[in-house]
Structure 1
Amino acid sequence: MVFRWYGEGNDTVTLSQIRQIPGVEGIVWALHDIPAGEEWPLDRIIEVKRQAERYGFHIEVVESVNIHEDIKLGLPSRDRYIDNYKRTIRKLGQVGVKTICYNFMPVFDWVRTDLHKELEDGSTAMFYEKTLVDAMDPAELVRKINENPDFTMPGWEPERLRHMSRVFEAYKNVTEEDLWNHLAYFLEHIIPVAEENDIRMAIHPDDPPWPVFGLPRIMTNRDNIRRLLRLVDSPYNGVTLCSGSLSANPNNDVAAMVREFADRIPFAHIRNIRVYDNGDFIETSHRAQDGSVDICDIVKAYHESGFTGYARPDHGRHLWNEQCRPGYGLYDRALGIMYLWGIWDSLERTKRGKALC
């Protein structure tokens, strides 16, 4: 079990608080101030390692080493950014990193229309309104996401989106097949370096798993995950299987994906969402009954598969007036961890023929 942490001075949640959540062994981290495509400095990497180890945590999972848009666009300049990526992988290997989560979503890492939609119990959560996205100017969405300058959102950093109109224009003639070809080129160059450094690359599904603002998206369903794994058939080419992202499309059976791809899932994001008939969805507690995702069967699928990778609770609600980065407060993610442990521990007891309680 691991817990995403944004770093000293960049997170309302402290390492001393994370340490008090039962069963958390490591932090999921990144150098969020390093622009996509730039090489990570070794001294900064070592600094995070020292901070984590002070509280008994490992830093074996990085989320994310972001990919420069020129790589996704297949521009001639991509080779320079790929070389930077390789050098970063080698440095991360030096400090014991075992998994790098990344995504291949054009322009935006994820899309929501409301970061604090109120739920029936008075908590708030991130919400996606489909018709609003269909009609919205993407620049307006950027403004909404960055209304609070105290909490930069991963994938929505202002400096990254400063030239958004130019990037949108560059994607105008990029098809899904083009994006597949650009991903294949990236993996063919990166996976050998990952193998040499014993680091598994784990792509995150698109969130939500369909095209937005006319941009192509390819990590959306079971068939596309199969295709990804065939691009470079190596155990170091894997998936960060995110139950919340994929389940926004009710046709996606995440538990079935776990059972099929278990040996290629080094990292699991486990979270729940409630999906509405009109295509809207909102993030809920991790409890299966509170949303549309069968969290119990997903955890069971990991257990049956002998999963030994890393898992973390994903986006949580905002509880008890907590002032935090949207989706990344302390309380609901801690509750989520205990719910996941409860399912896992029950499965372990059943496996050993013991009474549940």
Structure 2
Amino acid sequence: MHLGTQVPARDDDDYRVMAQLGIRHVCADPPGNPHDWTLDTLLHFRDRIGGFGLSLDMVQLPLSSRPIEQQHSPDILSAGPDRDRQIDSICRLIERLAEAGIPAAKYNLNIIGIPRTPLESSRGGAMSEAFRWEKADHDAPPTLAGILPEEENWARIDYFLERVVPVAESNRVRLACHPHDPYTPPGYRGVTRVLGTVEGMKRFVLMRESPYHGLNFCQGTVGEMLDDPRREVGDVIRWFGERKKIFNVHFRNIRGGKLSFMETFPEDGDMDMWESLKIYGETGYEHMIMPDHVPTISGRDPRDTAFAFCYGYITGLLQALGRLDSKAD
């Protein structure tokens, strides 16, 4: 279990700063459309990252958290005419990841993106993302996927998994799917977000069972689907952790819960992140612990300052748990 990051580097100095802050493991992407990444592209990028003392542990497949209209592979969940071609392309990409020595890939099965309501003021005037169902547009129209019945949604997900999971297993590349952020009531914008509940996540990981089929376990998103995140989240972590279905952790906290929450810094929310980290350790989790979102703060470099705070917080918890990587030479 070790500190990681997925924050995009703006230049080489950002990679140097990551290493200086104690990060050794990253999720990062070469430029361009992932469908177009060649083996040489991946090798060059891996070696470039490695030059800063960083290990490229994970990349993003061409299935992101954006609304389906902005996706590189929209036909997979819309069952469009290019569905098989896009799935085949992802299968070939998984094979190239294995050749390049990149052990994992994250992805989303997202149709409506990440709904949020207006930013809200948090600690010291920082501005935080929030979602209040009473403020959401309940009449927002469906996406290009149209009205999608729940079981048809599952069928399309299974069609994808049936093709890609055997390729991942034969190439020993872990596929980590992010749950739906946030939970929304069934039928919102024409879909039921089947990965927006704990039961849906359980059904998902048990489909096409494989040690290479699991989750990009976003603790903030999981909290968003619970009535009482502080009380409930530990059992959720334990269920997936004991089954070795957690391949990456987004270590984010919130205040609130299902249908009404605000994102926070890790120590400023309702979930006990120290207790959570102990459960990850108890279940044998051995991959990255990383921040995903941070509140927007003031100053000359608000993004990286806020993330640096999170890196230090995670490092302190890992050290207290006795799970911090040994010091660099």
What interval of TM-score do these two structures reach, taking the shorter chain for normalisation? 0.7 to 0.9
Give yes or no for contact 1:303–1:344 (8 Å, CA) kept in 2: no
Measure the CA separation in 1 of the matches of 2:102 and 2:183: 28
Alignment partner for residue 298 of structure 1, among 276, 286, 293? 276
Query: Hey, what does 1:308 align to over in structure 2?
Result: 286
Matched, 1:348 2:327: no
Give yes or no for contact 2:147–2:190 (8 Å, CA) kept in 1: no
Measure the CA separation in 1 of the matches of 2:288 and 2:239: 17
Matched, 1:181 2:186: no
Query: Hey, what does 2:234 align to over in structure 1?
Result: 255
CA drift at 1:323: 4.8
Query: Hey, what does 1:158 align to over in structure 2?
Result: none
Report the AA paired with residue 26 of structure 1.
H
Give the direction of change, closer, same or farther, for the CA distance of 1:346–1:240 in structure 2 (3 Å limit). Answer: same
Moved more, 79-88 or 172-181: 172-181
Report the AA paired with residue 319 of structure 1.
I
Give yes or no for contact 1:29–1:64 (8 Å, CA) kept in 2: no
Q: Please show how residues 78-89 of structure 1 align to structure 2 within 5 Å.
A: 78-89=83-94
Give the direction of change, closer, same or farther, for the CA distance of 1:308–1:258 in structure 2 (3 Å limit). Answer: same
Query: Hey, what does 1:268 align to over in structure 2?
Result: 249
Report the AA paired with residue 262 of structure 2.
I
Quote the RMSD (CA, aligned, Å): 2.4
Matched, 1:192 2:170: no
Measure the CA separation in 2 of the matches of 1:117 and 1:45: 39
Query: Hey, what does 1:149 align to over in structure 2?
Result: none
Give the direction of change, closer, same or farther, for the CA distance of 1:128–1:33 in structure 2 (3 Å limit). Answer: farther
> Structure 2 stretches of 5 or more lacking a match?
65-72, 324-329
CA drift at 1:221: 2.4
CA drift at 1:7: 4.2
Find the residue that maps to 1:134 and give its secondary structure. Answer: coil
Matched, 1:49 2:74: no
Query: Hey, what does 1:113 align to over in structure 2?
Result: 117
Query: Hey, what does 2:24 align to over in structure 1?
Result: 25
Find the residue that maps to 2:176 and give its secondary structure. Answer: strand
Report the AA paired with residue 60 of structure 1.
D
Find the residue that maps to 1:93 and give its secondary structure. Answer: helix
Give yes or no for contact 1:62–1:101 (8 Å, CA) kept in 2: yes
Matched, 1:214 2:206: no
Residues 112-136 of structure 1: per-residue CA shift (max 9 Å, x gap): 233x533241222222232332347
Alignment partner for residue 241 of structure 1, among 209, 213, 217? 217
Give yes or no for contact 2:198–2:225 (8 Å, CA) kept in 1: no
Alignment partner for residue 338 of structure 1, among 301, 312, 319? 312
Taking structure 2 as the reference length, the TM-score comes to 0.84
Report the AA paired with residue 120 of structure 2.
K
CA drift at 1:228: 0.9
Find the residue that maps to 2:183 and give its secondary structure. Answer: coil
Find the residue that maps to 1:256 and give its secondary structure. Answer: helix
Give the direction of change, closer, same or farther, for the CA distance of 1:317–1:94 in structure 2 (3 Å limit). Answer: same
Measure the CA separation in 2 of the matches of 1:246 and 1:76: 33
Query: Hey, what does 1:162 align to over in structure 2?
Result: none
Measure the CA separation in 1 of the matches of 2:88 and 2:226: 39
Matched, 1:126 2:126: no
Find the residue that maps to 2:275 and give its secondary structure. Answer: helix
Matched, 1:280 2:283: no
Give the direction of change, closer, same or farther, for the CA distance of 1:136–1:47 in structure 2 (3 Å limit). Answer: farther
Residues 214-270 of structure 1: per-residue CA shift (max 9 Å, x gap): 333111222212211221111111011111111113336332122111111111111
Give yes or no for contact 1:300–1:344 (8 Å, CA) kept in 2: no
Taking structure 1 as the reference length, the TM-score comes to 0.78
Give yes or no for contact 2:39–2:100 (8 Å, CA) kept in 1: no
Alignment partner for residue 74 of structure 2, among 53, 66, 69? 69
Give yes or no for contact 1:267–1:311 (8 Å, CA) kept in 2: yes
Equivalent pairs, count: 306
Measure the CA separation in 2 of the matches of 1:111 and 1:187: 25
Query: Hey, what does 1:6 align to over in structure 2?
Result: 8
Give the direction of change, closer, same or farther, for the CA distance of 1:260–1:276 in structure 2 (3 Å limit). Answer: closer
Residues 162-207 of structure 1: per-residue CA shift (max 9 Å, x gap): xxxxxx4543231121111111111110011111221111110100
Find the residue that maps to 1:111 and give its secondary structure. Answer: coil
Residues 264-283 of structure 1: per-residue CA shift (max 9 Å, x gap): 11111111111279x33221
Find the residue that maps to 1:121 and give its secondary structure. Answer: helix
Give yes or no for contact 2:77–2:109 (8 Å, CA) kept in 1: yes
Matched, 1:104 2:80: no
> Percent same amino acid at aligned positions?
27
Report the AA paired with residue 272 of structure 1.
N
Residues 85-140 of structure 1: per-residue CA shift (max 9 Å, x gap): 011111111222111111111142x22233x53324122222223233234757xx
